[in-house]
Structure 1
């Protein structure tokens, strides 16, 4: 790859004497440590063993005919398309969020989500000429892939701003769309804390495709270039066994060289790799810093601890120690997205799917601060609707983030994290009192509720969060005025684009609530794109429309 050749040319001349040897070892040998020679090994308590001679590198896999490429302006889809077999990929889709009668269930509670993997994964299917599996589409991740015009917070004690606005629903004149937007404060590069990062790289045989290990190298090399002198990086690999390739260092030349030497081969002892990565992270732990593992894999764990439930239990035990986990998904065919998304959530990290070098730069270079540096943890949102103003409602997306009402005040219930500069958007579709709803009137329905003291309110929004290092949550409360209903107009500008993305996700999921709203209408709602990502979105909508025709 040209990118790989360029990186090799830029290296400082420091070479690693060995590489991550791919050994066909039994799972119980997974604690063996493989290490390369470096300029100087730190005295960190880890025992380093010299590796056996590496196997010959596998033949380069040919570029697949189904790869779409981007020249920075347009998505170029090849004329010959070999579609992915989604039946071999694993997803954990949930049913579309149901409609709630406000009188019976006035309170909606959920954990925030800043993952974006579903957007890039859906894009991968579309550019290959097929619609994504419905279970692979999480509408909130599509919405949160983009940035919106939310104001910065005024003070760090309340680390994010809260914005609410409303518009007439484009696909249902009887309903309205309530948007709740959060924006975290930005963390200047000079003031961010030091980072202790462990790159945990899957080098098993399934990773040798061009869209897997070669792209992993490009992604992690890009992140390494963003590191400061105070940061340190370790590299752990796993195939038939797990091994330490590079002990903690801030030498970018060593990091680049170690990544460049990685080769794919063997089975996948992912559980052993995670265990070793946590051990290495603990050995180089930075107090009051960022301590995070970045797992890069296609998720195909098939040796040792491979059960998702067992992996989740392992990750949950580690997160309270201050070591978080981010998962980066790559490739296709045997991709286990269900596991990738879940262990990132339970590891107090985030999940992204990387389908191109452009996406790698977006996730790991441009968004590194928001990805790594948490400004608020266990963030929960609770919206209570006033039955006198809203008769029915539904939350668009967040199906796997729903919480029980009593979980909101329970500080022991884990929830999502917001990083520096992160944004979170939630959209509710509501039925104003007196308007026609999805659920018809009931024979024994109660009489309308009198307005009472809260008669001027449409809803009441509450947010709970913990500042870094704190065990007790803080509370933000915001009333939503009923006047928003009377003043609601057709969505425009930034709101229109957010609604267009919500419609795109719902149509990909086959949500019947959109009735006959067309792909052309979704595209028109998005308006004239103002940047590359939004322009790409409009093209993806058009592509989805063409693929949806009988």
Structure 2
């Protein structure tokens, strides 16, 4: 019966083809196809103005040059022209097939006029959160079992290593609305990182000191790699930025107390039940919007030739347009651009003059080299002219990080920015695009400019950084925040800090108010995780020294260690000290603790760590999925999806 039906279908197809006349050739379509083919040929041969070769990277020799010569013989312009004609003929044959469906091409960022038309529909400054034209937040995912209560673990119970049945995931809107896109081919990306923090022996080195970090760039960069079907470079993975990408529901500070509140928890380690994890969590105060000081923003925008890509300047324009809906009439915006030279595109303008600001953004085009030093200097001059008493003034640098004129060395740029920060002007950095992303320079600028570094890979990420978390990104509540933990050798034999490799400080830096550290913005939460080994644990990796000093019996026996924090009020030069003991007491692993632990494990797996033993992708995914909680914007379910994708790519 099936064979007869197949014959009938084929006969019907023949009759349909006989009736249909082939469409007339379309000269315009053929010309467009030819132009695109030749443009791609030029890009392949290196004549297009897109990606630039890194200044300090080899351009290729030997085998690579042989491949280029061989490919040149195969991909000549005449041969491409002939191939384009054949491809056009094939497309015409497909068109006449009844009911044939062509796959839709992947979406790219819309052209600037269309984007600005949508942004123009956003209500004026002072409008509510439901701004027209903004992305719709992802709906919270249902719990694993309908009506089931969130899973908790007792203080003396280890986080699970068993793997539950794989849940039926539905891709979050945030992930679905950002179509996969291959990464540009380039070898000039540079990332800021350092070797993993080593295991420390408490009796020899009991004090750990570091600067807090609220940057999120690393997580967004690794997400863009995974969505493009590639594992991220190991050096792009900074675990503290992965953990701190997510909001947590830590206890907020009470009225009349310091601007942030520390919380401590001690739980069993999921990958090693014989050790413990100590979570140090800080939650910043969120002032009411009406209590926010006036804000002066200078958008410093890279318009060099490398910014032509749709994921760079076009996305940048849309991202800044989204932010305007959250600014108030008393806030001011100026725009400075830099390419071959720097210039002021928009003089300081009240934030409620939206059409004027959007029009200035719309006029931006990419082209030329990258005069980064000149742009920074002009942006700081503009910011100093805008600054007023009691106001917050910030330069927001938007770039792919490729500085090739003026000062290009990250250390020299850092010194320039460090000099300017003393005037009270903050500097934040937003990265766009891949292929020549200079994350190392971006990190140096943000860390020395008292600001945050974020990477924008989609309009959804722009919504998160510049709209949902605008107060935390732009309004500081504590400067130069430092953390110091002194571990008790009578209780802790060994410890290691997970992440924060680029944020380490010397012990003497803690009390030195001239040493710069990280900032906490309004409503920000910060998490740091230590893995510690109790003195009587079989997981201990080092033996006691024969001639080592024995800790006195009963010395602070109820304490694992002592936490000290230092911070400065914005604009102040003298720090304030907060301290509290870390009790030697197992606590219940809350949802936030379990999820942040899973993300730490995610980072360790991406970095190829040898600290996890047999604990792997299945366990990390199960732990994260069981701790997603309400997740109103879908950030946590997206993380689980990325973990599953990373598992597949790592095989």
TM-score, normalised to structure 1's length?
0.85
Identify the match of residue 425 of structure 1 among 499, 506, 527: 527
Q: How many equivalent pairs are there?
A: 487
Residues 7-41 of structure 1 show CA distances to partners (whole Å, capped at 9, x for unaligned) of 336659xxxxxxxxxxxxxxxxxxxxxxxxxxxxx
Equivalent positions of 1:24-63 (< 5 A) are none
Instruction: Identify the residue that residue 420 of structure 2 maps to in structure 1.
Output: 318
Q: Aligned partners of 1:5, 1:155: CA distance in 2, in Å?
A: 46
Asked whether the equivalents of residues 89 and 336 of structure 1 are also in contact (C-alpha less than 8 Å), the reply is yes
Instruction: Give the drift of 1:252.
Output: 1.3
Equivalent positions of 1:9-408 (< 5 A) are 11=120, 72-75=173-176, 82-85=182-185, 87-250=187-350, 251-408=353-510
RMSD of aligned alpha carbons? 1.9
SS in 2 for 1:174: strand
SS in 1 for 2:272: coil
Instruction: Give the drift of 1:6.
Output: 5.0
Q: Does 1:523 align with 2:617?
A: no
Instruction: Give the drift of 1:492.
Output: 4.6
Instruction: Identify the residue that residue 64 of structure 2 maps to in structure 1.
Output: none
Residues 51-84 of structure 1 show CA distances to partners (whole Å, capped at 9, x for unaligned) of xxxxxxxxxxxxxxxxxxx8725447878x6445
SS in 1 for 2:187: helix
Residues 144-180 of structure 1 show CA distances to partners (whole Å, capped at 9, x for unaligned) of 0011121110135411111000111011121110000
Asked whether the equivalents of residues 119 and 321 of structure 2 are also in contact (C-alpha less than 8 Å), the reply is no
Decide whether aligned partners of structure 1 residues 457 and 246 sit closer, same or farther in structure 2, where only a CA change above 3 A counts: same
Instruction: Identify the residue that residue 46 of structure 1 maps to in structure 2.
Output: none
Asked whether the equivalents of residues 77 and 128 of structure 1 are also in contact (C-alpha less than 8 Å), the reply is no
- Flag structure 1 segments of 5+ consecutive residues without an equivalent: 13-69
Instruction: Identify the residue that residue 609 of structure 2 maps to in structure 1.
Output: 511
Q: Aligned partners of 2:242, 2:400: CA distance in 1, in Å?
A: 21
Instruction: Identify the residue that residue 565 of structure 2 maps to in structure 1.
Output: 463
Q: Aligned partners of 1:193, 1:538: CA distance in 2, in Å?
A: 38
Q: Aligned partners of 1:130, 1:76: CA distance in 2, in Å?
A: 19
Decide whether aligned partners of structure 1 residues 462 and 354 sit closer, same or farther in structure 2, where only a CA change above 3 A counts: same
Instruction: Identify the residue that residue 535 of structure 1 maps to in structure 2.
Output: 637
Larger Rg: 2
Q: Aligned partners of 2:349, 2:274: CA distance in 1, in Å?
A: 60
Instruction: Give the drift of 1:271.
Output: 1.0
Instruction: Give the drift of 1:527.
Output: 2.6
Instruction: Give the drift of 1:450.
Output: 2.8
Residues 396-415 of structure 1 show CA distances to partners (whole Å, capped at 9, x for unaligned) of 00001111111111111111
Q: Aligned partners of 1:291, 1:116: CA distance in 2, in Å?
A: 21
Asked whether the equivalents of residues 370 and 419 of structure 1 are also in contact (C-alpha less than 8 Å), the reply is yes
Moved more, 153-162 or 137-146: 153-162
Q: Aligned partners of 1:467, 1:307: CA distance in 2, in Å?
A: 31
Instruction: Give the drift of 1:472.
Output: 1.2
SS in 2 for 1:505: helix
Q: Aligned partners of 2:217, 2:182: CA distance in 1, in Å?
A: 22
Instruction: Give the drift of 1:511.
Output: 1.4
Q: Aligned partners of 1:440, 1:315: CA distance in 2, in Å?
A: 43
Asked whether the equivalents of residues 86 and 133 of structure 1 are also in contact (C-alpha less than 8 Å), the reply is no
Q: Aligned partners of 1:108, 1:443: CA distance in 2, in Å?
A: 21
Instruction: Identify the residue that residue 15 of structure 1 maps to in structure 2.
Output: none
Asked whether the equivalents of residues 113 and 141 of structure 1 are also in contact (C-alpha less than 8 Å), the reply is yes
Q: Does 1:501 align with 2:602?
A: no
Decide whether aligned partners of structure 1 residues 188 and 4 sit closer, same or farther in structure 2, where only a CA change above 3 A counts: farther
Instruction: Give the drift of 1:431.
Output: 0.1
Asked whether the equivalents of residues 11 and 257 of structure 1 are also in contact (C-alpha less than 8 Å), the reply is no
Asked whether the equivalents of residues 112 and 379 of structure 1 are also in contact (C-alpha less than 8 Å), the reply is yes
SS in 2 for 1:243: strand
Instruction: Give the drift of 1:270.
Output: 1.0
Moved more, 434-443 or 364-373: 434-443
- Flag structure 2 segments of 5+ consecutive residues without an equivalent: 1-109, 122-170
Q: Aligned partners of 1:321, 1:236: CA distance in 2, in Å?
A: 19
Moved more, 462-471 or 136-145: 462-471
TM-score, normalised to structure 2's length?
0.72
Identify the match of residue 477 of structure 1 among 562, 567, 579: 579
Asked whether the equivalents of residues 325 and 344 of structure 1 are also in contact (C-alpha less than 8 Å), the reply is yes
Instruction: Give the drift of 1:442.
Output: 4.8
Instruction: Give the drift of 1:313.
Output: 1.2
Asked whether the equivalents of residues 270 and 301 of structure 1 are also in contact (C-alpha less than 8 Å), the reply is yes
Q: Aligned partners of 1:349, 1:423: CA distance in 2, in Å?
A: 15
Asked whether the equivalents of residues 4 and 218 of structure 1 are also in contact (C-alpha less than 8 Å), the reply is no
Asked whether the equivalents of residues 234 and 248 of structure 1 are also in contact (C-alpha less than 8 Å), the reply is yes
